[in-house]
Amino acid sequence: MSESLDLSKKNVEEAQTTLDGLFEGLADNRNIELIADFDLRALLPALQEKNWGKFNWFPLEDGPSIWRVDLTLLNPAVSPRGIEELFTSDHQRCDEIFVLVEAAAQAGDLDKAKKNFAEFILGMNHHFAMEEEGFFPAFEQATGMTQGPTMVMKMEHTQMRGLLMQMQEAVNKEDVGEISQITSTLMVIMRQHNIKEEQMLYRMGGMHLSNQADTILRTVQAL
């Protein structure tokens, strides 16, 4: 991430004012890593209220002493936000972190691999939660399809969670061979899973949930 903004030692109001300043102008794809010594979620309701549709917000570190968030400023005229766009951009984001884990492990830089893996596993678990607690239930309710695609996707999440746990163990053991073996398996499953969601489920969701998309997205963003 090219820019970072440290909000530590600021109170919530001061931090909000600083964030508001970022939204002056029509930036598109300006990416900033927010850092704080408090849970950055405290800033989200006001940010959503004032700037909804103008940013992506994904967690990078979730306490207990440091919180970091990947904030991307978006110009809605260029990059509109809907179910399809938000979830697809998070797939791409997690893929990019995954590549960094793999590269660091292959280069033998285990400190970097550990740091990147911590961001990756947090991102993946957050992504699964956004789908399982927000998007999938709304999709099932709107379509009546409870035994269909969402059921298959949840089974694949379980499979990927298992691989992430194995990978965590391999990272802890600093076993580069095992990391790369699990990485290859996870890469294949993740790619296929994401293609199914992007080409089918998110599109269907976008159609069936158009009138409640904002509510769903605001809720999942705060998870």
Residues that bind Fe ion in the complex, under the rule CB under 5 A: 131, 153, 197
Tell the smallest beta-carbon distance from residue 28 to Fe ion (Å).
Answer: 23
Closer residue to Fe ion in complex, CB, 72/123: 123
Measured from each CB, the residue nearest to Fe ion is 197
Helix locations, the chain, DSSP H: 12-22, 44-51, 83-106, 110-129, 136-143, 149-173, 176-196, 202-208, 213-221
Closer residue to Fe ion in complex, CB, 104/153: 153
Q: How far apart are CA 179 and CA 188, in angstroms?
A: 15
Closer residue to Fe ion in complex, CB, 16/72: 72
Q: How far apart are CA 170 and CA 118, in angstroms?
A: 13
Tell the smallest beta-carbon distance from residue 127 to Fe ion (Å).
Answer: 6
Closer residue to Fe ion in complex, CB, 84/131: 131
Q: Calculate ∠ Cα 49-54-59, nearest 5°.
A: 85
HSE at residue 169, side-chain half, CA atoms within 13 A, is 8
Q: How far apart are CA 64 and CA 55, in angstroms?
A: 25
Tell the smallest beta-carbon distance from residue 197 to Fe ion (Å).
Answer: 5
Tell the smallest beta-carbon distance from residue 193 to Fe ion (Å).
Answer: 6
Are the C-beta atoms of 134 and 112 separated by less than 8 Å?
no
Tell the smallest beta-carbon distance from residue 188 to Fe ion (Å).
Answer: 15
Closer residue to Fe ion in complex, CB, 38/135: 135
